[in-house]
Structure formats: C-alpha cells, structure tokens
C-alpha cells in the first residue's frame, strides 16, 4: 500500500501584500529538508482574508498562478492553497492544486462566510473537487466549508464499499476566538468519514484586528490528533500510511452502514 508525504506550512500573512507573501512562502518551501510530495498553504495565502477582490484579484494567467506553477516545478511538489481569482465579472476564493508538470485543477469555495460579508464580494462554487495522487483520493475544501458536514460527507462508490476519498484537506483563515469549533469539527470530519483530515490555518493579526492561532492539525481516521501546532509559524512534514487507513476501515466497516444521498446545488 502506498504512503503519502505531506508538508503543512502554518504562517503569518502580510496584509494584502502579494509580493512579500510569495517571497516568504518560497523561502519556507525551499527550507524543507525532508522529501515531500504535497505542500499545503493557507486560505488566501497571498493577501490574508480580504474583502477587496477588485484590487487584489488576478486571472488564471496572472503572476500568482505563474509563481505557483514555477515553485511546484522547481521543487518537484504538488502545491496547494487558495487565492483570489477573477473570472469574467466574478471573483472567487479559489483553491489551486498544481502538479509539478504544470497541470492543475481547482476548487471554488462553496460556503461563503456571510458573517464577514464574503458572499457580497465572491461567487460561490457549485462542485466538489476530489483529486488523486499516489493512490490516494483527496477531497479539497476551504475554511467555512468545515461547518457543513454534508458537503464533505463520504460516500461509498461501489458494492465493495470503496470510499469516495481517503484524505480531506481544509485550508483556512480561521480566527482564534472560534478555535474550539475549528479543532472539534476537524476531528468530527475524520471520525464520521473514516479518513485522514488535515487543516492548515494561519497565525498572526490581520488589518481587521482579527487574531489567528493557527491550530493546524493532522488527524487520523480514528479521530486522534497526530499533529497540532498553535500560535507559532511552523513547517511540518508527515507520512500518511495507507495500510493504517485500510486496517481501520476493515476492522470498523462503518461506511457500509452509511446513508446514500445526492447533493443538489
């Protein structure tokens, strides 16, 4: 069974300063000593959680996409995180999944955070993205999506009760004042979906005086926390074990008892 090597980068973000953020993340990526296959950055990693897309958005051929492609290629990694994208006359909080060969796919955040008026500035996505690497199926989501379990819910896909995905990733700018919800819901998603869950959040203070504690986490399919870091910047590499995942699913075949359903958008 295959393993998957993933590096999470929990970092402070310079408010609406693309150049400084890109330079900072490139240095952190270059500093990774261990072999890795996937590097995960936070939500809106070039700007912070900004409601100023008219000033900050780029198209899919802009400087940030070129940076993602170059850094992925030079470091031979899959690179992912979300950025502000303009498409036609709409703005999206868009997660990019970039392969080292320059091919990519993307996911547009489904659940927009109305409490911060995100829905007034951005267009909601209408489809999930489940990609694959090295035999692992990966469900990619963004921040506020975490509060809506149906959107991330695992389904079995055939008569052998094969799971729809093996790893659920959330990139985020999740505030410190609601950190208990972040940590609790990440564990819940791992337990209910019998999968690994990775949440990558930022630290620091933004220009809206919002404080972030990070609390980036890696959780195994039993809901146990394998990694947790709060309040400080951190670059962490781990190996996820497919044998462990398969053993848990075989010993506790809960997914076979789950309800089937359809999601209408």
User: In this structure, what token pair is assigned to residue 193?
Assistant: 């979906």
Arithmetic mean of pLDDT, 16-34: 97
How far is the CA of 211 from the CAs of 59, 172, 203, 204, in angstroms?
29, 13, 7, 6
pTM of the model: 0.97
In a domain, 55, yes or no: yes
pLDDT for residue 260: 84
Residues 105-127 pLDDT 10s: 999 999 999 999 999 999 999 99
CATH code of 89's domain: 3.60.110.10
Q: Which of 212, 181, 168 is nearest to 6 (CA)?
A: 168
263 within a domain of the structure (yes/no): no
**Residue 262: inside a domain, yes or no?**
no
Q: Write the pLDDT tens digit of every residue in 3-12.
A: 999 999 999 9
The kind and range of the H/E element at 129 are strand 129-133
Summary mean pLDDT of the chain: 96
In a domain, 164, yes or no: yes
Average pLDDT over residues 74-99: 98
User: How distant, in Å, are the alpha carbons of 54, 116, 147, 237 from that of 144?
Assistant: 22, 11, 6, 25
134 domain residue, yes or no: yes
Cα 91 to Cα 51, 59, 125, 217: the distances in Å are: 10, 9, 11, 29
pLDDT > 80? residue 161? no
CA 114 to chain centre: 20
Angle at 68 between CA 64 and CA 73, to 5 degrees: 150
Counted domains in the chain: 1
- The angle that helices 63-75 and 18-30 make with each other, rounded to 10 degrees, is 10
CA–CA distance, 43 with 60 (Å, rounded to integer) = 17
pLDDT (tens digit, 9 = 90+) per residue, 50-77?
999 999 999 999 999 999 999 999 999 9
Kindly state whether residue 264 falls inside one of the protein's structural domains: no
Q: Does residue 154 sit within a domain?
A: yes
Q: Are strands 104-108 and 167-171 parallel, antiparallel or unpaired?
A: unpaired
User: Residue 243 sits in which domain range?
Assistant: 3-257
Alpha carbon 86 to its chain centroid, in Å, reads 20
Q: Judge whether 87 lies within some domain.
A: yes
Task: For residue 151, give the 3-state DSSP assignment.
Answer: helix
- Is the pLDDT reported for residue 1 higher than 70? no
Active-site residues, by number, are 43, 109, 143
């Amino acid at each position: 069974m295959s393993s998957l090597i993933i590096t999470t980068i929990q970092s402070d973000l310079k408010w609406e300063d693309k150049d400084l953020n890109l330079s900072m993340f490139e240095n952190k990526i270059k500093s990774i000593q261990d072999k890795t296959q996937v590097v995960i950055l936070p939500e809106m990693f070039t700007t912070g959680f900004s409601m100023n897309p008219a000033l900050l958005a780029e198209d899919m051929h802009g400087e940030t996409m070129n940076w993602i492609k170059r850094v992925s290629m030079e470091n031979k990694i899959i690179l992912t995180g979300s950025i502000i994208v303009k498409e036609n006359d709409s703005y999206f909080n868009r997660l990019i999944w970039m392969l080292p060969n320059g091919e990519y796919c993307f996911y547009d955040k489904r659940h927009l955070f109305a409490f911060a008026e995100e829905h007034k500035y951005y267009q909601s996505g209408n489809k999930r993205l489940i990609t694959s690497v090295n035999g692992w199926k990966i469900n990619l989501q963004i921040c506020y999506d975490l509060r809506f379990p149906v959107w991330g819910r695992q389904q079995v896909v055939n008569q052998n009760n094969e799971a729809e995905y093996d790893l659920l990733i959330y990139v985020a700018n999740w505030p410190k004042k609601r950190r208990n919800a972040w940590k609790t819901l990440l564990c819940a998603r791992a337990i209910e979906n019998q999968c690994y869950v990775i949440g990558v959040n930022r630290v620091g203070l933004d220009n809206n005086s919002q404080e972030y504690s990070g609390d980036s986490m890696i959780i195994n399919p039993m809901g146990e926390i394998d990694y947790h870091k709060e309040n400080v910047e951190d670059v962490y590499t781990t190996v996820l074990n497919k044998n462990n995942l398969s053993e848990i699913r075989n010993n506790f075949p809960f997914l076979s008892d789950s309800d089937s359903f359809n999601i209408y958008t």
